[in-house]
Amino acid sequence: MILVTGGLGFIGSHTVRALLDLGEDCVVVQRSVRELPAVLAGTRVAVERADIADREALLAVGRRHAITGIVHLAGSYPWPPVPEAPVEATRQALDGLLNIAQAAQDWGVRRLGLASTIGVYGGADHDAPLREDAPLSMSAPVSIPTFKKVGELLGGFLADTTGIDIVNYRISGTWGPLGHRDPFFAAPALVHAAARGTAPDLSHLMGPAFAEDGLDLAYVKDTGRAIALLQLADKLNHRTYNVGSGRVTTNAQLIAAIRKVVPDARVGLPTGGEASHMVLDISRLAEDTGYRAEYDTERAAADYIAWLRAGHAG
């Protein structure tokens, strides 16, 4: 049985779905119990209410389930930042990560997967696909890549000292059903606007959006399947894996895909933007798991719009 923290969330629920489809049983840990998301409707998933920052509550889960692996997707970082209590927020974030590692050791799990982010490559040369062995900057402009870098370093130390197979998943920009308005890219907002027949509200973005802006965007169903394959692989040859599409998707390409489904969608953006795009090299992932993306931009846009038009909120 695989334990997935944050398993009822965006990427988590799709990862659980993929694990179930591959024949695994799953238990998810959430701070607050809620109904299974629609992608898990009709499945058998054990749901445990526990805060990963509460070590005893987390370890108790392992006394009720025979857990053989852990996928840690719950946010081990303060986001948005907590300016009134930054030290306490940092302590809670690190406690969650260390408690998960403690659980992995106590339960003797086969593999612990830790969610990281494409954001750790900030400041790296973007002229070529980003490889896992690229040198990383010691700084980051926001909390998420900062804490993910810390998590990767701690995970490496704990893997070396405990013998646990700890694997980092550097996840690219991800969009799709159950997603949210992302502050770093416009794709979810553009799709939601097309499905509703409105102009997109991009006020949540960290900066203005342009047609030529692009990023390695992965459809969440592909992201979840990639993580599941990494968790279940008989052997992994590396400690860190990029999880993405391996290609650039620009806003212009996404808008063209949206308009194939909704020809009159009001999702145009001004020209301009960055000429350099962050793209992940996913050769490690493909070689060690056989992973291949199933959703190109057109198929992903059509699937997401159909999901929203079926009455789903996210």
Domains of the chain plus CATH, in order, are: 2-173+218-243 (3.40.50.720), 179-217+246-279+295-309 (3.90.25)
The 8-class DSSP code of residue 176 comes to S
Question: Quick one: pLDDT at residue 103?
Answer: 97
What is the number of residues in the chain? 314
Q: How far apart are CA 201 and CA 63, in angstroms?
A: 47
> DSSP 3-state assignment of 30?
strand
Find out whether 2 and 25 touch, Cβ atoms under 8 Å.
Answer: yes
Pairing of strands 240-243, 166-171: parallel
Of 292, 260, 138, 273, the residue nearest 213 (C-alpha): 273
* pLDDT less than 50: residues of the chain: none
Q: How far apart are CA 98 and CA 94, in angstroms?
A: 6
Residues forming a β-bridge with 4? 28, 71
Longest pairwise C-alpha distance within the chain: 58
Cα dihedral sign for 23, 29, 35, 39?
Answer: negative
Angle separating helix axes 10-21 and 220-232, nearest 10 degrees: 60
For 204-214, b/e burial (b = at least 16 CB within 10 A) is: ebeeebbbbbb
Find out whether 238 and 271 touch, Cβ atoms under 8 Å.
Answer: no
Question: Quick one: pLDDT at residue 77?
Answer: 62
Of 173, 132, 135, the residue nearest 287 (C-alpha): 132
List, as one string, the DSSP characters of 62-121. Answer: HHHS---EEEE-S--S-SS--TTSHHHHHHHHHHHHHHHHHHHHHHT-SEEEEEEEGGGG
Q: Name every residue whose Cβ is closer than 8 Å to that of residue 201 and which is 6 or more positions away in sequence.
A: 189, 193
Residue 51 Ramachandran class (φ > 0 left, ψ -120 to 50 alpha, else beta): beta
Of 245, 113, 112, 228, the residue nearest 176 (C-alpha): 245
